[in-house]
Amino acid sequence: MSTQPLSQFETTKETTEETTKQKDVMRVESLTYTYPGAPKPSLHAIDLPIRRNKITALIGPSGCGKSTLLRAMNRIHDLYPGNHYEGRILLATPEGREMEDILEIKKENDLIRLRQRVGMIFQKPTPFPMTIFENVAYGLKLSGMKNKSDIEERVVTALQGSAIWKETKDRLHESAMGLSGGQQQRLCIARAVALKPEVLLFDEPTSALDPISTGAIEELIAELKKEVSIAIVTHNMQQASRLSDYTAFMYIGDLIEYNKTSKIFLNPDQKLTEDYITGRFG
Amino acid sequence: MNRLMLNKLILALSTASAVIGIGFLLWILTTLVVKGISSTHLSTFTHDLVDGGIRNLIVGQFTMALLATIIAVPLGLMAGIYLREYSQSPKLSATLRNLSDVMMSAPSIVIGVFVYALFVDPFGGYNGWAGSIALAIMMVPIIIGTTDNMLALVPQELREAGIALGGSKHKIILQIVLRAAKVGITTGILLSFARIIGETAPLLFTSANNQFFTMDMSGQFPSLTVSIYNLATYPDAASQDLAWAASFILTVIVLIINLGGRYLTRHKH
């Protein structure tokens, strides 16, 4: 790909010792994406950085492509063959000095490794039909962890870190299907966190939950950004403004505006963004 | 005729049809229970057909049905998984689904003839293996259908969640999707077992029947249903009584398996 990245998102390799890590953990560059069999692309030349240890919100009306963009970032689209990517999605290497293009990944094993580094939480809670403990241990076992006490330690830490330890510590070996919707969603977050990912993608994680569970999840997400960089798709404008540091507004497959959340919500550059934020459409 | 009259007429007609339908069913069941119980003795279960019991027949019927299950379950499961999880071509899957449905409604006697031509005639005579194969052929499309339908009920998000955690497709199917559909698939297998355990036509000229106790499947093999078919047409009262007893016991067996299946579905968690 010879596409030139937009200069405003460009970060050159830092040379000083203290700031060897790139400030973007992920960078989408000129991404055009077409669904299998679709005549036209659903995303048009999107440029978007995901800042390290920040929360980036993707907002926009239904069908604007925000979920499509999110689902490109861990290449879960590839579950359904026949789709087409153009452009680059750069992901910082674990050491953080360089970036690699995840769209270059061909082998299934490398895709699996990518998904361990870039986790995803879905709209509906998706607990596996197994016990609470096994749910969190499952991803660890998939990643090749064998040692039982190591797994146990990681499971407990993940449950504690996902604010669900108190509710589950006495019923770790009961089925996860017995938890409430909000608890199930926190369990799914714990499951993703257990893998110690570099990026977590949230696809409308609270739209199926009641306000109290939503509050708990939002608190958790705000807490998680100390450890991991976060991108979140949301329909809820208050959620985007409460939670995120940066906001991207999308409309029919185009990224209209990206900036600090305060700027987007208080003084957007684009008329379209302002109309959406103020509820004039969408 | 005004609409109130019409309403009453239709009500009367449909009530009458219901009463006639249920009446016949009750009649059959009562006769079966009354004649069956009076003809069933302890010796019915302890003696083989040659001595006026059905011990060898029950063992034979179950042996063939279990072997059929062992053949049909992996085939049906894998075909169902292919159809729902792997097939990329909607046309091909639609064709395969239709074929499987046609197979499900194929007359069982036709399956019997087919197996006769392939596994009885060339091997020099009736044998238990052929009986099992005929039953397995009946079972496969039922299991394909249930597996396909039960997998369709597993939400797509569950597969995506597994993939997003770093699973490969086959691991997610085996460890998560199948587990989520386990109860439905097990019930389907149980019901298909109940369906084939009472089949006569596919066994008539494949396993045929045997009066003696045997576990040798390369020869004629004892069958409960074929025996009922034979015994019921004999003129002597003893044979006919045994046919009633066998029918009664077969009905009870099928009923128990069916109830077991329903119980499983109701108590999913």
Interface pTM, i.e. ipTM: 0.85
Interface test with A, best of B150, B165, B174 (most A CBs within 10 A): B165
pLDDT at A136 (0 to 100):
95
Name residues 147-186 of chain B within 8 A of A (Cβ). 155, 157-169, 171, 175-176, 179-180, 182
**Which chain B residue lies closest to A192 (C-alpha atoms)?**
B165
pLDDT at B118 (0 to 100):
95
pLDDT above 90: percentage of residues in chain A: 75
A191-221 pLDDT, tens digit each: 999 999 999 999 999 998 899 889 999 999 9
pLDDT at A282 (0 to 100):
67
* CATH (residue range B43-266): 1.10.3720.10
B215-255 pLDDT, tens digit each: 999 999 999 999 999 999 999 999 999 999 999 999 999 99
A113 near B142, Cβ under 8 Å? no
pLDDT at B256 (0 to 100):
94
Joined together, the tokens standing for residue A147 give: 């040692």
**Dihedral sign, Cα of residue B215, residue B221, residue B226, residue B228:** negative
**Averaged over A131-142, what is the pLDDT?**
94
Query: Taking CB atoms and an 8 Å cutoff, what residues of chain B touch A143?
Result: 166
**Averaged over B48-73, what is the pLDDT?**
95
Four-point Cα dihedral B58, B64, B69, B75, nearest 10:
-170
DSSP strand pairing (A24-34 vs A43-51) = antiparallel
**Which chain B residue lies closest to A120 (C-alpha atoms)?**
B164
A247-279 pLDDT, tens digit each: 999 999 999 999 999 999 999 999 999 999 988
Name residues 74-113 of chain A within 8 A of B (Cβ). 74, 76, 79, 81, 108, 112-113
- What's the CA gap between A268 and A273, in Å, rounded? 6
**Which chain B residue lies closest to A128 (C-alpha atoms)?**
B176
Q: A74, B164: Cβ pair inside 8 Å?
A: yes
Interface test with B, best of A68, A73, A138 (most B CBs within 10 A): A138
Ordered structural domains, chain A, with CATH = 22-125+199-277 (3.40.50.300)
pLDDT exceeds 50 at position B38: yes
Higher pLDDT, B37 or A282: B37
What are the C-alpha distances in Å from B264 to residues B182, B187, B190? 10, 7, 10
pLDDT exceeds 90 at position A7: no
Instruction: Name beta bridge partners: A248.
Output: A58, A258
A146-202 pLDDT, tens digit each: 999 999 999 999 999 888 999 999 999 999 999 999 999 999 999 999 999 999 999
Vertex A19: Cα angle to A17 and A22 (nearest 5): 130
pTM (global) more than 0.80: yes
**Dihedral sign, Cα of residue B65, residue B69, residue B70, residue B71:** positive
A185: Cβ contacts below 8 Å, ≥ 6 apart: A121, A125, A205, A206, A208, A209, A213, A217
pLDDT at A4 (0 to 100):
46
Domain ranges of chain B: 1-39, 43-266
B172 near A92, Cβ under 8 Å? no
**Averaged over B51-76, what is the pLDDT?**
96
Q: Which DSSP category does B139 fall into?
A: H
B133-170 pLDDT, tens digit each: 999 999 999 999 999 999 999 999 999 999 999 999 99
Q: A175, B269: Cβ pair inside 8 Å?
A: yes
Q: A116, B166: Cβ pair inside 8 Å?
A: yes
Give the residue among B138, B143, B132 at the shortest CA–CA distance from B104.
Answer: B138
Q: A126, B157: Cβ pair inside 8 Å?
A: yes
Give the A:B interface size as CB pairs under 8 Å.
67
Could you say which of A81, A130, A191 has the minimum Cβ distance to residue B165?
A191
Instruction: Name beta bridge partners: A99.
Output: A92
- What's the CA gap between A223 and A219, in Å, rounded? 6
Q: Could you tell me if A44 lies within 8 Å of chain B, comparing CB atoms? A: no
pLDDT above 90: percentage of residues in chain B: 93
How many CB atoms are closer than 10 A to CB B222?
A: 28
Could you say which of A79, A116, A175 has the minimum Cβ distance to residue B160?
A79
DSSP strand pairing (A24-34 vs A254-260) = unpaired
Q: Could you tell me if A143 lies within 8 Å of chain B, comparing CB atoms? A: yes
Kindly indicate the confidence band of residue A20, based on its pLDDT and cuts at 50, 70 and 90: low
Q: B166, A115: Cβ pair inside 8 Å?
A: yes
Q: How far is CA A139 from the centre of its chain?
A: 17
Q: Could you tell me if A36 lies within 8 Å of chain B, comparing CB atoms? A: no
**Averaged over B86-114, what is the pLDDT?**
93
Give the residue among A8, A25, A43 at the shortest CA–CA distance from A230.
Answer: A25
**Which chain A residue lies closest to B176 (C-alpha atoms)?**
A128
Query: Taking CB atoms and an 8 Å cutoff, what residues of chain A touch B177?
Result: none
What mean pLDDT is reported for chain A?
Answer: 89
